[in-house]
Structure 1
Amino acid sequence: MILQGITTIWRHPILKEARRQPLAPRPSAPGVVTRHRDRNSLVLEGAVPLIPTASLERINHFQRESLAPNTRRAVRGQWDTFTGWCAVQGFDPLPASPLIVAAYLTYAADLLDSNGAWFYAPSTIRHWLSSINKMHSLAGLSKPGEHRDVANTIEGICRERARPIARKAPLLLDGLRKTLVGIDRTSWPHGVIGHRDAAILTIGFGGAFRRSELAALELQDISIHPENGLHIRVRRSKTDQKGNGFLKAIPFGGSPLTCAPCAYIRWLIALSAGAKSSSDLENAVRSASMTEHACRENVPLLDGRQPFLRPVMKNGAIKARHITGNVVNDVVKRRVAHIDLNPADYGAHSLRAGFVTEAFRAGATHHEIMRQTGHRSPDTVEIYSREVNPLDNNAVVRLGL
């Protein structure tokens, strides 16, 4: 199995409730019988070829890589919960009978929180079913979600428990400018994280990046084009799981404040100085100019295989590893709070949503927006227009009410 060695998450709400339920008789399941021939090989019962253990490990590796890392983590956690529930109830999770899966989904759908509201959204429960299906598929078993008992159950849950999708507010240009003005980039050691956060905000907004795309960038993915500004190669994204990659460009900005190439160069200068000594980094931060463009300065030479956006410690030290998508989310929340916006309404997606919203306001077409966002369908882009600018291109404004 790809996801062996799973540890049950006993603090999960489903498992807390499940431990209170009486155990049902454990049904017998056929399973797959294996037989060891020697220490270095294994053969499946009834199979003809003898597969070396080393080959099986490589097969397992490539099967694991068929899923994105975030997807693997999600599937592992959701499978943990299901197997824990099955253990308490006395059921075998693999293969799982369709009625057992339907009972699990129903049980999750009926759980209430402390306020008496449904604990789980239908979309969450649907994701759990996808993970159960995935684990059965990887084991060479039929997907229980395709059985009518399970399919009808999940459709009924989604129909009865439908709720509005909670979307983050877009960070518009005016809010972006105010946020950037409030970032300290010239004092020590606060200026170090200030330069990093400014790069996150300007590049994240101008490139309409997803948080995972920003966090995964390496120095070799970004370059300065003398005419176009930043060229950024996105090696893999949510809509490009096979890693074909695509190029984003962010032009030189009219103001040094919102110029993404300037923020990129200033952060590179900090990275280069930090690689030498703490004193060099302090001097670079204190001498940085926020009123003049930095985008025409020479680009410091650094190892292109190193991460672009990195954790910064309170003493200004820069770590040599990638930040996570959660850091991008925290940066947006923390910075907008300084301009009296409610951080609960904002997050990493606010940069992407802000780009789309401002682009629509400027008269950009769906295709032009999709060139930067990487969306596959105009329908997805249209969601931003309906949610944020419901009166744009709406016939109701012509009625003279």
Structure 2
Amino acid sequence: MSSLESSTPGDHSTPPSTRPLEFHPPSAPQASNTRRAYSADWDRFERWCHHNHRRALPAEPDTIAAYLADTATHGATRQGRPYSHATLTRWIAAINQRHRSAGYAPPGTDPRVKTALATIRSHPTPSSAQPPRRTAPLLVEDLTTILAVTRNACTGWASHVAERRDSAVLLTGFAGALRRSDLETLRIGDVTADPAGGLRIPVKHSTGAHDDSTPTVLLPPTQSHWTCPPCAYTRWLQVINAWDTTGRPGVIRLLRHPTPFDAHICHGPLRKPPHPDAPLFRPIRKNGNLTTTALSGSAIHAMIRRRAHDAGYDNDIVAQLGGHSLRAGFIAQALRNGTDVHAIMQHTGHVSTAMLSTYLPARTPGAASVAAEIGL
């Protein structure tokens, strides 16, 4: 994701702000990666055929069907998870490609192979019937640490652009208990000021919603400006308005010598954006330029992991984080704080308390029993 990785302030090879964004289609690098993947897939198939006394080239459709069935039953990735349907499909494509290169008909197109693949997909094997791995939550303490490292690491105006966006994503997603799809689809005009203070954000993918209404969540000001979602939004909106009105020069003027962020800046009316229908969160090029498209869910996922890694989190912890860590973190933190369950459900859109229980931490041996503290 070259368009959203950490900014490089020293990169001065930047096009004018009026230059249209260019799309460079992938070519040789991706083709090379595909060839390497196909080669590894074919080697794996050849080894299996050798151990099972089967002919690999040309292979019979029944051989490929048996290969898939054996892998689905006994095979697993290095992480102990079953191979996905997409991986099995790629294996078939690699086998077909090798056969075509050798002048043989692709055996993976045979109905027997397609039937075997469909059977695996519709009837999970014991190895694939594993509970899904839950995304680890980011709690308030985690966000405070990540924000501190992210902001203190800024060394130039371009890095300030990425910091302001990422801070707004983290705090908006956490305080709103938003899914990454909610963050991805937010438009600037969707965010409105609440009369009592704070921001109102629509949640278009509310759990359990059965009507056409669009619920909203309130992002109230917090005691500390450092972790205040409306302040983070305001700081990012300043960048967006500068870019959408005067382009790159305006952003440089705003951030080359930024005003110290030492107090709340969220009080007062929101400035009317020049393009309310534009995406709120956008990819950022390494030179600090904003793009016109929306920041994707996968990019949000990668940003959270990258910021946690930069903050010194262990690789094993980082691997458990993702786009859902913000929503999961809000729920887990609220439950640990003793917040009323029904109040949490109203904020998150859940319709069942059973779903919230999945966010509770596992009970550790020796933990105090509720009965011991009931007062008998």
Same fold (TM over 0.5): yes
Q: Which residue of 2 aligns with 1:168?
A: 135
Work out the CA distance in 2 between the residues paired with 1:388 and 1:192. Answer: 41
2:327 equivalent to 1:352: yes
- Structure 2 residue aligned with 1:45: none
Equivalence for 2:229: 260
What is aligned with 1:311?
283
Match of 2:202 among 229, 233, 243: 233
Which residue of structure 2 aligns with residue 325 of structure 1? Answer: 297
Instruction: Name the CA shift for 1:239/1:213 in 2 (closer, same or farther; >3 Å).
Output: farther
CA offsets, 1:257-307, max 9 Å, x none?
111011111111100111213222122223333111111244232222110
- Give the equivalent residue in structure 2 for 1:110: 73
- 2:192 paired residue among 209, 223, 238: 223
Counterparts of 1:178 and 1:341, CA distance in 2 = 10
Once the two structures are TM-superposed, the CA of residue 200 in structure 1 deviates from its matched residue by 0.6
From 143, 150, 154, the counterpart of 1:183: 150
C-alpha distance in structure 1 between counterparts of 2:230 and 2:155, whole Å: 18
Q: CA deviation at 1:205?
A: 0.7
Shift of residue 390 of structure 1?
Answer: 9.2
Q: 1:235 to 1:364 in 2, by over 3 A?
A: same
Q: Partner of 1:61 in structure 2? A: none
How many angstroms does 1:383 deviate by?
Answer: 0.5
Q: Deviations over 1:18-40 (max 9, x none)?
A: 79484349xxxxxxxxxxxxxxx
Change (3 A) 1:150 1:330: closer
* Residue matched to 1:363: 338
Q: Is the 8 A contact 1:213 1:236 kept in 2?
A: yes
Distance, in Å, in 1 between the alignment partners of 2:206 and 2:68 is 30
Contact 2:173 2:183 in 1 (8 A): yes
Deviation at 1:334, TM superposition (A): 1.5
TM-score, length basis structure 1? 0.62
- Counterpart secondary structure, 1:249: strand
Partner of 1:376: 351
Mapping of 1:11-90 within 5 angstroms? Answer: 20=56, 22-24=59-61
Kept in 2, the 8 Å contact 1:215–1:309? The answer is yes
Unmatched segments (≥5 aa) in structure 1: 1-8, 26-87, 90-99, 129-144
Q: Partner residue of 2:272?
A: 301
Which residue identity lines up with residue 234 of structure 2 in the other structure? I
| Counterpart among 76, 82, 87 of residue 120 in structure 1 | 82
- Please point out which of 141, 145, 162 is paired with 1:193: 162
Distance 1:224 1:216 in 2: 19
Q: CA deviation at 1:330?
A: 1.5
Q: Distance in 2 between matches of 1:12 and 1:250?
A: 48
Q: How big is the shift at 1:339?
A: 2.6
Query: Does structure 1 conserve the Cα–Cα contact (< 8 Å) formed by 2:202 and 2:215?
Result: yes
SS of equivalent residue, structure 1 residue 288: coil
Report if aligned partners of 2:207, 2:351 keep a CA contact under 8 Å in 1: no
Which SS does the other structure have where 1:355 is aligned?
helix
CA 176–325 in structure 1, closer or farther in 2 if over 3 Å, else same: same
Q: Distance in 1 between matches of 2:135 and 2:195?
A: 35
Q: Over aligned residues, Cα RMSD in angstroms?
A: 4.0
When residues 384 and 23 of structure 1 are mapped into structure 2, their CA distance, relative to the original with a 3 A threshold, is same
Shift of 1:354: 1.3
TM-score (norm: length of structure 2): 0.66
Q: Distance in 1 between the 2:211 and 2:68 partners? A: 31
SS in 1 for 2:141: helix
What is the CA distance between 1:392 and its match in structure 2? 8.5
> Offset of 1:360 from its aligned partner?
0.8
Q: Which residue of 2 aligns with 1:47?
A: none
2:249 aligns with 279
AA partner of residue 266 (structure 2): C
* Larger displacement relative to structure 2 (254-263 or 384-393): 384-393
Question: Counterpart in 1 of 2:123?
Answer: 154
Q: Percent identity?
A: 28
Cα deviations by residue, 1:322-356 (Å, 9 ceiling, x for unpaired): 01011111221121223321222322222112111
- 1:111-145 residue CA offsets vs partner (Å, 9 max, x unmatched): 52575x76516xx56xx9xxxxxxxxxxxxxxxx9
In structure 2, relative to structure 1, the CA distance for the partners of 1:262 and 1:393 (3 Å cut) is farther
Are 2:260 and 1:289 aligned? yes
Residue deviations 1:126-181 (CA, integer Å, cap 9, x gap): xx9xxxxxxxxxxxxxxxx9xxx969x836x24x6544542232211112112112
Assess if the C-alpha contact under 8 Å between 2:72 and 2:82 holds in 1: yes
Does 1:206 find its partner at 2:168?
no
Structure 1 residue 226, shift from structure 2 partner: 3.3
Question: In the comparison of the two structures, how many residue pairs are matched?
Answer: 295
Q: Distance in 2 between matches of 1:262 and 1:282?
A: 20
What is the CA–CA distance in structure 2 between the aligned matches of 1:105 and 1:374, rounded to whole Å? 41
> By how many angstroms is 1:109 displaced?
1.8
**CA contact 1:215–1:323 (8 Å) conserved in 2:** yes
Unpaired segments ≥5 residues, structure 2: 1-33, 47-55, 89-114
